Amino acid sequence: MSAHIIYDNAPLGSLIRYSDGAPKPPARFTRKLADWERRTGLGRLVRKSPPRDHPTYSAPASITLNEGNFSSGGIMLVTTMCIHSLDSALSFEIVERPAIGMVRVLHQIADHDELLHLAESRDAAELWTAKTGYRNARLEDITADEVGADVVEGRAAA
């Protein structure tokens, strides 16, 4: 499916796989392998950015995937994010949607939300929020209604 379908249908917190469909090259071809790895990956959907018009340029709508967090001694050092515009030629797939009972920890940025954390329960989300110090974070429960709507509307991950 296209990035546009992900933007319209995938809820924040979904696990998204993307690829250009090319097979993985042998390890001995280091440049080809590095190029393939840039076009193939897996990440959690953390942001859906609407199109923006500025005086000097316009930015298309995009999705942002969190591809990993690297920490040492309990301190997060690096977060790897990958931004894809909706006109991306890559193919996207919803691998997993947030389960009923999970809780999104969201932060408002301009006119859209950004997923900070996906917790297993409300208690875990409140603990994470208190531990990290996000004062303006908003908790949003994943309900049966949301998951049911995805199934009824044909948006459930296959």
Q: What is the mean pLDDT of residues 53-59?
A: 86
Q: What is the mean pLDDT of residues 63-79?
A: 84
Q: Which residues of 30-62 are buried (b: 16+ CB within 10 A; e: fewer)?
A: eeeeeebeeeebebbbbbbbeeeeeeeeeeeeb
Mind listing the pLDDT tens digit for each residue in 138-147? Answer: 999 998 877 6
Contacts of 12 (CB under 8 A, 6+ apart): 45, 46, 47, 48, 104, 106, 113, 115
Mind listing the pLDDT tens digit for each residue in 40-50? Answer: 899 999 999 88
Model confidence, pTM: 0.82
Q: What is the mean pLDDT of residues 68-74?
A: 81
Contacts of 55 (CB under 8 A, 6+ apart): none
Q: What is the residue whose two structure tokens read 């997993």?
A: 96
Output the pLDDT for position 17: 94
Output the pLDDT for position 12: 92
Select the highest-mean-pLDDT range: 17-21, 49-53, 145-149, 150-154.
Answer: 17-21
Long-range contacts of 64-67 (CB under 8 A, 24+ apart): 64/114, 65/16, 65/18, 65/41, 66/115, 67/41, 67/42, 67/43
Output the pLDDT for position 158: 45
- Answer for the pair 82, 41: CB distance below 8 angstroms, yes or no: yes
Q: Given pLDDT bands bounded at 50, 70 and 90, which one contains residue 154? A: low
